C-alpha cells in the first residue's frame, strides 16, 4: 500500500509558502481563514481517488516485477543446492557452476536496477498526481477567499489555536468534491537514456 505519510510530505512541499502577518496588516483588518490540508486530502473524493490510483499503479508495478523475483528466488535456491558444501575456490574452479553464478549475479543486478526504476517512476507518478490535485485545489481556495473576504489562508498545522468558525476545510472539501471528484493519474516513465558517444 502506498504510504499516506509520503503523499502528505510531497503535498506539503507543493503547497507551502511562508506567510507572515505584520502588525500593520493585522491593524488594517486582515481576515484569516484556516484549512487543514490533511483533512482536505484524506476527506475529499479527489484525494481518495488519487491514493487509490497510486496504490493500483504500485500494485501493477509489483506484479510486473514478481515473475522475475520468483525466478531469481528459484534460481538462487537451485544454485545453493548445487554449491552446497563447496568453497568459493571450488565453485570458481568449476566452469559450468562459475558461469551459472556469474549469470545469476547479472540477473540480480538487472532486477535491482528494474526495481529502482519502478520506485523512481512511482515517485514521479505521485509527484505529477499531487500537482494535478494542487491545480484542482487552487481555484477552490480562491473561491473560498472570495466568499469569506479572507486575504490570508493558513494551514492548521502552522497555528496553535483556531476556532471552528475560522476553519473552512469542510467548505473546501465540499467545493472540491463538486468540481473535481477525481484526479487524472498517469503512470510516469523515466526518460530513456541516450547512448554515450
Show Cβ contacts of residue 124 under 8 Å, excluding neighbours closer than 6 positions. 188, 190
Other C-beta atoms lying within 10 Å of the C-beta of residue 173 = 22
88-120 confidence digits (pLDDT tens): 999 889 999 999 999 999 999 999 999 999 999
Confidence at 196, pLDDT banded by 50, 70, 90: low
Q: How far apart are the first and last CA of the chain?
A: 41
Question: What is the rounded average pLDDT of the residues 7-22?
Answer: 47
On whether the pTM is more than 0.85, the answer is no
- Chain-centre distance for alpha carbon 87: 45
Report the C-alpha gap between 77 and 181 in whole angstroms: 48
Q: Which of 26-30, 112-116, 177-181, 190-194 has the lowest mean pLDDT?
A: 26-30
Dihedral sign from CA coordinates of 79, 85, 90, 95 = negative
**167, 174, 161, 138: which is closest to 17 by C-alpha?**
138
**pLDDT of 17:** 41
pLDDT of 155 reads 92
Evaluate whether 28 touches 145 at the Cβ level (below 8 Å). Answer: no
The per-residue pLDDT for 11 is: 53
- Cα(172)–Cα(137) distance, integer angstroms: 8
Q: Element (H or E) spanning 108, and its range? A: helix 95-148
Cell matching residue 175: 467545493
Amino acid at each position: 500500500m502506498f504510504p499516506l505519510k509520503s503523499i502528505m510530505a510531497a503535498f506539503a512541499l507543493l503547497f507551502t509558502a511562508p506567510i507572515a502577518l505584520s502588525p500593520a496588516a493585522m491593524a488594517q483588518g486582515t481576515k484569516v481563514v484556516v484549512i487543514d490540508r490533511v483533512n482536505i486530502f484524506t476527506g475529499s473524493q479527489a484525494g481518495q481517488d488519487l491514493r487509490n490510483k497510486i496504490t493500483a499503479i504500485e500494485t501493477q508495478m509489483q506484479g510486473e516485477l514478481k515473475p522475475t523475483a520468483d525466478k531469481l528466488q528459484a534460481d538462487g535456491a537451485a544454485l545453493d543446492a548445487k554449491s552446497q558444501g563447496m568453497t568459493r575456490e571450488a565453485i570458481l574452479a568449476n566452469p559450468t557452476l562459475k558461469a551459472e553464478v556469474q549469470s545469476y549475479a547479472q540477473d540480480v543486478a538487472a532486477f535491482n536496477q528494474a526495481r529502482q526504476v519502478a520506485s523512481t517512476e512511482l515517485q514521479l507518478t505521485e509527484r505529477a498526481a499531487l500537482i494535478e490535485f494542487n491545480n484542482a485545489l487552487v481555484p477552490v481556495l480562491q473561491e473560498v477567499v472570495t466568499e469569506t473576504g479572507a486575504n490570508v489562508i493558513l494551514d492548521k498545522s502552522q497555528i496553535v489555536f483556531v476556532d471552528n468558525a475560522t476553519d473552512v476545510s469542510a467548505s473546501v472539501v465540499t467545493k472540491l468534491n463538486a468540481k473535481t471528484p477525481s484526479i487524472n493519474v498517469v503512470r510516469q516513465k523515466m526518460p530513456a537514456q541516450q547512448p554515450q558517444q
